[in-house]
């Protein structure tokens, strides 16, 4: 322990004695560490924001959708859900509460109001949409069962659509044109804000049967079924029950693949987390290559330092310093040099990450986990030690007599 403390003290004194050279030597480590930390901070902030969005959707919400991949689209054999699947989920699957069909309405695509137009997402759905999606009206009311049964031309809209069409703050009672059809606005939904520049309030919802009529009665419908489970603990059992019921309803033989899939918000969150973790590792690894360049710079300068201090090493050996004493001192010096650069790089990387996040519109705040900062510091110290082995061995193996003769 005494040897380590003395070696650290001697290394620190030597670094202070050559401040400018020490600073220039660590530049590679500083830049490399700052780049890695900034990338990780941005990706972590991005991941945290998405996770929060998924959590806001509600962990008890599940989605039943038709399964289609490239082969389906290439062959034209497109799988679709049936309207009977809605009642099957609602009445025959234990543990399911609210069930709602959600259909994208491609009809028209443009919504007009007093000479102004916008292009929101247009959905057809039913009254339970607000319970499943946890979206509630801020003004007016949401769709009710009677709207669907009566095929009423009514709609609820998001805040961005209201703003884009420059409608009154309270648009309830106004009429908008969807394609060639007129709809009375009965509700304005709560504002949800934006995610990475994409608004969550740019939509219009009409009764499901009305949306179905707009699509055309002779067309096969493409829609999803969103539903909730009564108890989060039973979510896997409910998914199994849904699987069995839909397979039986679709007459899928044992051993055959499903023509549908059941997804949960948690499942999507986990998939996204895996994707962002992989992207962080790849980007961090690519940027981390610059740390090797920094390590090579440290090795080069340390080799020069050994040559410059050859006589000093000879004197130390003549006074009784062993080979291991010299080895530890030079390793300590290179490790300390790299660690110092790493700490400065971490600080710059954190500032850089927050600065870049602030400059990009609607980008979530950067976030640096403490574990990443500690890991970066330890890795930098290891880089210094590894690249210091060659110069330290050269110094330790010097012959004391030859070293004392060195001019």
Residues belonging to the chain: 407
Query: For the segment 183-208, what is each residue's pLDDT rounded down to a tens digit?
Result: 999 999 998 877 656 788 999 999 99
Going by pLDDT thresholds of 50, 70 and 90, the confidence category of residue 169 is very high
- Model-level pTM? 0.60
Alpha helices in 201-264 (DSSP H): 208-215, 235-249
Instruction: Give the integer Cα–Cα distance in Å for 36 and 31.
Output: 9
Residue written as token pair 């010096």: 333
pLDDT tens, residue by residue, 275-318: 777 777 777 777 777 777 778 888 888 888 888 888 888 888 88
Neighbouring CB atoms inside 10 A of 369's CB total 12
The DSSP-derived string for 103-170 is EE--SS--EEETTEEE--EEEEE-TTHHHHHT--EEEE----HHHHHTT--EEEE-HHHHHHTT--SS
Q: Is the pLDDT of residue 153 over 90?
A: yes
Percentage of the chain beyond pLDDT 70 is 91
- pLDDT at site 193: 78
Confidence band, pLDDT 50/70/90 cuts, at residue 127: very high
Q: Which of 376, 397, 395 is nearest to 333 (CA)?
A: 395
């Amino acid at each position: 322990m005494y040897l380590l403390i003395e070696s650290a003290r001697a290394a620190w004194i030597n670094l202070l004695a050559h401040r400018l050279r020490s600073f220039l030597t660590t530049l590679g480590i500083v830049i490399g560490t700052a780049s890695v930390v900034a990338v990780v901070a941005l990706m972590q902030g991005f991941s945290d924001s998405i996770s929060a969005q998924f959590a806001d959707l509600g962990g008890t919400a599940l989605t039943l959708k038709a399964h289609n991949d490239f082969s389906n689209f290439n062959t034209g054999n497109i799988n679709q859900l049936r309207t009977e699947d809605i009642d099957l989920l609602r009445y025959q699957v234990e543990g399911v509460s609210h069930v709602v069909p959600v259909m994208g309405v491609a009809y028209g695509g443009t919504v007009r109001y007093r000479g102004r137009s916008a292009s929101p997402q247009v959905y057809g759905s039913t009254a339970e949409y607000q319970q499943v999606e946890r979206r509630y009206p801020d003004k007016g009311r949401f769709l009710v069962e009677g709207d669907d049964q009566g095929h009423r031309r009514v709609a609820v809209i998001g805040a961005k659509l209201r703003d884009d069409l420059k409608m009154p703050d309270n648009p309830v009672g106004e009429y908008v044109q969807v394609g060639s059809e007129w709809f009375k606005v009965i509700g304005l939904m709560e504002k949800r804000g934006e995610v990475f520049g994409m608004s969550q309030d740019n939509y219009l919802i009409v009764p499901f049967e009305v949306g179905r009529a707009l699509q055309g009665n002779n067309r096969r419908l493409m829609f999803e079924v969103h539903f909730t489970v009564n108890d989060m603990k039973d979510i896997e059992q409910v998914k199994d029950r849904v699987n069995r019921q839909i397979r039986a309803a679709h007459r899928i033989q044992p051993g055959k693949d499903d023509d549908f899939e059941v997804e949960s918000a948690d499942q999507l969150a986990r998939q996204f987390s895996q994707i962002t973790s992989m992207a962080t590792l790849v980007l961090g690894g690519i940027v981390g290559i610059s740390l090797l360049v920094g390590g090579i710079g440290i090795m080069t300068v340390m080799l020069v330092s050994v040559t410059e201090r050859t006589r000093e090493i000879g004197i130390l050996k003549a006074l009784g310093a062993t080979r291991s004493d010299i080895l530890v001192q030079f390793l300590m010096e290179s490790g300390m040099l790299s660690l110092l650069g790493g700490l400065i790089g971490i600080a710059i990387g954190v500032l850089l990450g927050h600065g870049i996040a602030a400059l990009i519109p609607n980008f979530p705040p950067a976030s640096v986990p403490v574990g990443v900062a500690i890991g970066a510091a330890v890795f930098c110290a290891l880089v210094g030690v590894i690249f210091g082995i060659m110069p330290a061995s050269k110094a330790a193996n010097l012959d004391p007599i030859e070293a004392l003769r060195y001019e």
